[in-house]
Chains A and B, each alone.
Chain A
Amino acid sequence: MAGTVAAPRWPGAATTIGLRDPRGSTLGIVNPVGILPEPIEALLETALVSELTVVDGSGLPVTHPLIPLYDGEVIYLTSSILFSKKLEHIKANPKVSVSISDPVAVDVEPFRRATIQGDATVDDSDLHAGWERVLPLWRKKEPAIDMFLGKRVALPLFFERAVIEVRPTRAFLWDDGATDRPPQVFELAKAMA
């Protein structure tokens, strides 16, 4: 460790995480409310779209735009079985990343960007209704989902869905969204262990 930050960077101390500076040294820092630093949590809470990247069978990354949902601990994404290739990939290789990059799709000031790496699991134990546990989080971002759900008869397979649960292990934050400057790097798993 290169040093310790005495005061929390964000209010509401909860867990300790490792922060590496852009040169690669790790700083001790106190995390706020949830698992992730507050600026990243704020992004997750408002973002209407994120990019979920999975690794396919040949080792190539495959990126899918999806709504990210967050409960302070786990990032949830849901996928219809109509678009379930990503679920097959995650089952074969649980390493994923979720990035939030679109300034139009987030409501935070000042704008920032983040990428979270983590380990994902697929909950497809009840495709018909299991995903409804994340419906309250989904509804906050896309109120029209209730209207679509009311027309379930018209889109029966769209509402057969799995839940992807991502447990963050590392996060990258670009404070002003500019990726021509190095990000802050948060080693979450190491500190949590």
Chain B
Amino acid sequence: MKPTPELIAGLESRFEHAVIAFVDDDGYPLSVATGFRADPDRGVVILNTVAGEDVQPPEGERVNVVFSHIRPQPGIGYDERRYVSLWGPLQAIEGKLELAPDRAQGWDEQEMSFFEFSERGVPQARKYLDQLSEETGREVRPKLSFGWLFLRATRLPFLTATFVPVLLGIAVAAWKDGFNWWLALLTVIGGASVHLGLNVANDVFDTRSGADEANVNPTQFSGGSRVILYGLLSMRQMTLLSFAFYAIGIGIGIGLAAASGWGLLWVGVAGALISVFYTAPPLQLVHRGLGEICVLLGFGPIMALGAYYVQTGSYDLEPLLASIPVGILIALILYLNEVPDRPADAKAGKRTLPVRFSKKAVIRGYVGAVVVTFGLIAVFAITGLIVRPTIIALAAAPLALPVIRALRESYESPYALMPAMGRNIQLHLATGVLLILGYVIALVADGVLDDPPSLLT
């Protein structure tokens, strides 16, 4: 990049000394520290001369002048890493050396996070690996242990999004009708398989569309698994993995339908279609701003109704109502995670809601959805549409407050938003667990008490 007057003006306040690097007569680079002052008006850096004929920078030739700073942190290492590197011709003027830089590069970790700085190096890493593969005649790839790679490729921790609605559907079924352990276990495994298949397929399509490559601000919650982009797994391996998960999930689904009733196929087919066309062409629902609706339906009513049907062989209004709040909250996980991804998503033509709407509208949307979620829980529980002990799920509502605060204060900062993304996942998990606990309380009260009070059922 070209050095700007602002860059040159900031040198004196950001750095204590300069290092002049040049190539000596033997062809070796040689670097010498010296004092400096900046003249941003003229776009030059004035360097003190150095003594000794062995270390004289060559006048009139292009040199590299670097400014570097760290702050030692005993027992840890250091922080406040920053450097600026300038190139240009060096002239001796009035007992000083004057650098007129025409090229600059640098990094300041207080301006660009280390994660983003690293992410911007991915194309160089891939180039190096390709060159090394060519040099050595064998494919050189980065590695991760099998466990870490599986966790990363499948985004395993996000399975809570499946466990919550499935267990909620099972809990409602247990309250209303009955409960079969084996069917419950197979439902969880089948639901998890479809979810993992979706995660992996999502990475395949986002890599193909260029959305992942364009995203230099991935976080542990957003930006995909990046295993294809990093060269940890190939496109083919990920495609096969996705098919394998879908095959397991669909196979279990068919088995469960055979055991419980073919009516299960209605939600099964709906879930599979939403899952596949979430990112797959031609529909690419997430690219059309419909991702939240898909996720709400898929990880809310569809999972809960399916799990309920497996246990009871019929559909009912109660699992549908109970699952709507968790569906909204899981959609809010996607919604928030799309906030840091929006520049890359926009570049890849992925018109998500945060891409379409202003910061103000996005925050209002989040607040409104949280209010609706907990309002529905209160109304459903008080009116007895779902068991009354589920009112305890309102206790999770305060978890939304730091998320709203972070959205207001750190909307433009992906890494400052990371704790809020974690808290948002906790909001979904805590609300879901408390809803399930509400049903467990009702079940226990019903089993233990001859005539349980209406507050407990």
Docked complex: A142-190 residues within 8 A CB-CB of B: 142-145, 152-158, 160, 169-170, 172, 177, 179-183, 185
Q: How far apart are B126's CB and chain A's nearest CB, in angstroms?
A: 9
Given A48-B77, A127-B140, A141-B77, CB of A62 within 8 Å of CB of B72:
no
Q: Which listed residue (B32, B62, B125) contacts A60, Cβ 8 A? A: B62
Q: With A and B bound together, what is the CA distance between A99 and B21 in angstroms?
A: 10
Contact mask A13-35 → B, CB, 8 Å, 1/0? Answer: 00000001010100000000000
Confirm or deny: B236 has a beta carbon within 8 angstroms of a beta carbon on chain A: no
Contact mask B26-59 → A, CB, 8 Å, 1/0? Answer: 1111111110000000000000111111110000
Q: Which listed residue (A63, A85, A88, A142) contacts B85, Cβ 8 A? A: A63
Task: Name the residue among A61, A95, A99, A160 with the largest chain B CB count within 10 angstroms.
Answer: A61
Confirm or deny: A117 has a beta carbon within 8 angstroms of a beta carbon on chain B: yes
Confirm or deny: A36 has a beta carbon within 8 angstroms of a beta carbon on chain B: no
Binds A, one of B116-124, B259-267, B345-353: B116-124
Q: Do B53 and A179 touch (CB < 8 A)?
A: no
Given A102-B17, A104-B72, CB of A180 within 8 Å of CB of B49:
yes
Residues from chain A with a CB closer than 8 A to the CB of B52 are 22, 181-183, 185
Main secondary structure of the interface of A (DSSP, over half): mixed
Q: Which listed residue (A80, A153, A179) contacts B33, Cβ 8 A? A: A179
Given A157-B125, A182-B52, CB of A63 within 8 Å of CB of B78:
no
Q: Do B144 and A82 touch (CB < 8 A)?
A: no
Q: Do A142 and B19 touch (CB < 8 A)?
A: no
Q: Do A143 and B148 touch (CB < 8 A)?
A: no
Q: How far apart are B78's CB and chain A's nearest CB, in angstroms?
A: 5
Q: With A and B bound together, what is the CA distance between A127 and B49 in angstroms?
A: 41
Closest to B148 in A: A153
Binds A, one of B63-71, B239-247, B330-338: B63-71
Contact mask A44-71 → B, CB, 8 Å, 1/0? Answer: 0000110101110001111101000000
Residues from chain B with a CB closer than 8 A to the CB of A180 are 34, 48-51
Closest to B33 in A: A101
Closest to A138 in B: B77
Residues from chain B with a CB closer than 8 A to the CB of A127 are 132, 140, 142
Closest to B71 in A: A104
Q: With A and B bound together, what is the CA distance between A81 and B230 in angstroms?
A: 11
Confirm or deny: A38 has a beta carbon within 8 angstroms of a beta carbon on chain B: no
Given A61-B64, A99-B33, A153-B152, CB of A82 within 8 Å of CB of B77:
no
Q: Which listed residue (A48, A80, A145) contacts B125, Cβ 8 A? A: A80
Confirm or deny: B357 has a beta carbon within 8 angstroms of a beta carbon on chain A: no
Docked complex: A63-102 residues within 8 A CB-CB of B: 63, 65, 80-85, 87-88, 93, 95-97, 99, 101-102
Q: Do A157 and B28 touch (CB < 8 A)?
A: no
Docked complex: B171-199 residues within 8 A CB-CB of A: none
Confirm or deny: B232 has a beta carbon within 8 angstroms of a beta carbon on chain A: yes
Residues from chain A with a CB closer than 8 A to the CB of B144 are 152-153, 156
Q: Do B72 and A172 touch (CB < 8 A)?
A: no
Confirm or deny: B441 has a beta carbon within 8 angstroms of a beta carbon on chain A: no
Given A51-B66, A53-B21, A61-B21, CB of A84 within 8 Å of CB of B124:
yes
Q: With A and B bound together, what is the CA distance between A157 and B132 in angstroms?
A: 15
Interface residues on B, range: 35 or more
Q: With A and B bound together, what is the CA distance between A62 and B85 in angstroms?
A: 8
Q: How far apart are B107's CB and chain A's nearest CB, in angstroms?
A: 9
Closest to A87 in B: B128
Residues from chain B with a CB closer than 8 A to the CB of A51 are 19, 21, 31, 66, 68
Residues from chain A with a CB closer than 8 A to the CB of B62 are 60
Residues from chain B with a CB closer than 8 A to the CB of A96 are 28-29
Total interface residues on A, CB under 8 Å, equals 62
Q: How far apart are A43's CB and chain B's nearest CB, in angstroms?
A: 12
Q: Do A143 and B142 touch (CB < 8 A)?
A: no
Confirm or deny: B445 has a beta carbon within 8 angstroms of a beta carbon on chain A: no
Q: How far apart are B102's CB and chain A's nearest CB, in angstroms?
A: 12
Residues from chain B with a CB closer than 8 A to the CB of A63 are 19, 21, 31, 64, 66, 85
Q: How far apart are A51's CB and chain B's nearest CB, in angstroms?
A: 5
Q: How far apart are B59's CB and chain A's nearest CB, in angstroms?
A: 15
Task: Name the residue among B23, B27, B131, B151 with the largest chain A CB count within 10 angstroms.
Answer: B23
Q: Which listed residue (A48, A101, A103, A117) contacts B30, Cβ 8 A? A: A117
Confirm or deny: B16 has a beta carbon within 8 angstroms of a beta carbon on chain A: yes
Confirm or deny: A105 has a beta carbon within 8 angstroms of a beta carbon on chain B: yes
Residues from chain A with a CB closer than 8 A to the CB of B122 are 82, 157
Confirm or deny: B22 has a beta carbon within 8 angstroms of a beta carbon on chain A: yes
Confirm or deny: B129 has a beta carbon within 8 angstroms of a beta carbon on chain A: yes
Residues from chain B with a CB closer than 8 A to the CB of A113 are 33
Residues from chain A with a CB closer than 8 A to the CB of B75 are 143
Confirm or deny: A128 has a beta carbon within 8 angstroms of a beta carbon on chain B: yes
Given A82-B125, A127-B140, CB of A115 within 8 Å of CB of B32:
yes
Closest to B34 in A: A179
Q: Which listed residue (B16, B63, B129) contacts A102, Cβ 8 A? A: B16
Q: How far apart are A108's CB and chain B's nearest CB, in angstroms?
A: 13
- Interface residues of B, Cβ cutoff 8 Å to A: 16-17, 19, 21-24, 26-34, 48-55, 62-64, 66, 68-73, 75-78, 81, 83, 85, 87, 115, 118, 121-122, 124-125, 127-129, 131-132, 140, 142-144, 148, 151-152, 220, 230, 232
A48-B77, A124-B132 are known; give 6 further A-B pairs, CB within 8 A: A61-B22, A81-B128, A101-B31, A117-B28, A156-B142, A156-B143
- CB<8 Å pairs between A and B, sample of 5: A53-B29, A62-B64, A85-B124, A101-B31, A124-B132
